């Protein structure tokens, strides 16, 4: 028999009403945080960056594609990777379908990685994605926005973890990406936004780590499932969408 609390319909309705008040409070807090993000000061981007795209070499200004706002996802696919990070891949699945709605609001979204363009495009075809994806291999873009490190910087930054023993999840993700742990950790996920205003480009906002969960569309859905994310006993559950084993019928 279940060990979860079971109640009458009346008791459930009372508990649901109490929770709804908290959910509404959370929504209002989210609205306020969104306003504070918009009010952050901008930083003018002075450096010239170039990216290798399917259409050829493009500047940062050209990545806007005629719109005034640019959203960049820093996708973990470094030069030593043979495949994109599974976690970044899972969030890309959720974003791919919303691009027309972003474009309708004067927003362009682009994915940027340091791997050679040929690798990125081959992986994009495998995953069935349509979003723009460019390589920053020939520029300092990823380093300047603090999502990439040199191998030496990576070894220094993660020395305590490496010395203590690589966590299984990091070892798993590195292996799944076709690289070693140092190569995997030389890249980090991130999200940066830019605005093109009166001929100048400004950096407006960035986030990383759990700040990226808003892009992982399956998490808010799972948060409303009876068992939630249910990751305590299976932290390595996440796979690319074409790698999940079929359940026995």
Mean pLDDT of the chain: 95
User: Strand ranges (DSSP E) for the chain?
Assistant: 43-44, 50-53, 56-59, 69-74, 107-113, 133-135, 190-197, 200-207
pTM for the predicted model, two decimal places: 0.93
Is it the case that residue 249 has pLDDT exceeding 90?
no
Contact 103, 66 (CB under 8 A): no
- Between CA 85 and CA 228 the distance in angstroms is 24
Q: What's 214's DSSP letter?
A: G
Per-residue pLDDT reduced to its tens digit, 207-245: 999 999 999 999 999 999 999 999 988 888 999 999 997
Per-residue pLDDT reduced to its tens digit, 180-195: 999 999 999 999 999 9
What are the boundaries of each domain within the chain?
43-148+187-222
In DSSP terms, 200 is beta-bridged to 197
Of the candidates 105, 163, 102, 159, which has an alpha carbon nearest to the alpha carbon of residue 130? 102
Contacts of 131 (CB under 8 A, 6+ apart): 92, 95, 96, 99, 109, 110, 111
Q: Considering the domain 43-148+187-222, what is its CATH architecture?
A: 3-Layer(aba) Sandwich (3.40)
Angle at 72 between CA 70 and CA 76, to 5 degrees: 170
Is it the case that residue 2 has pLDDT exceeding 80?
no
Instruction: Tell me the three state secondary structure of residue 248.
Output: coil
């Amino acid at each position: 028999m279940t060990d979860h609390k079971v109640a009458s319909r009346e008791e459930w309705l009372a508990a649901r009403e109490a929770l709804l008040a908290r959910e509404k409070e959370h929504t209002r807090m989210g609205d306020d945080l969104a306003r504070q993000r918009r009010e952050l000061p901008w930083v003018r981007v002075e450096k010239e960056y170039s990216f290798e795209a399917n259409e050829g070499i493009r500047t940062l200004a050209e990545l806007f594609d005629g719109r005034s706002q640019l959203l960049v996802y820093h996708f973990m696919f470094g030069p030593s990777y043979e495949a994109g990070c599974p976690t970044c891949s899972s969030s890309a699945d959720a974003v791919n379908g919303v691009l027309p709605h972003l474009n309708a609001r004067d927003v362009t979204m682009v994915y940027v990685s340091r791997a050679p363009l040929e690798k990125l495009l081959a992986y994009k075809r495998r995953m069935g994605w349509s979003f723009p994806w460019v390589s920053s291999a020939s520029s300092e873009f990823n380093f300047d926005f603090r999502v990439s490190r040199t191998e030496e910087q990576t070894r220094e930054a993660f020395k305590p973890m490496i010395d203590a023993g690589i966590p299984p999840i990091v070892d798993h993700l590195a292996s799944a990406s076709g690289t070693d742990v140092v190569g995997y950790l030389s890249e980090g996920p991130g999200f940066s936004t830019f605005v093109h205003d009166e001929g100048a480009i400004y950096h407006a906002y960035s986030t990383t780590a759990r700040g990226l969960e808003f892009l992982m569309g399956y998490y808010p859905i799972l948060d409303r499932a009876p068992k939630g994310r249910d990751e305590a006993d299976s932290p390595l559950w996440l796979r690319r969408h074409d790698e999940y084993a079929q359940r026995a019928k």
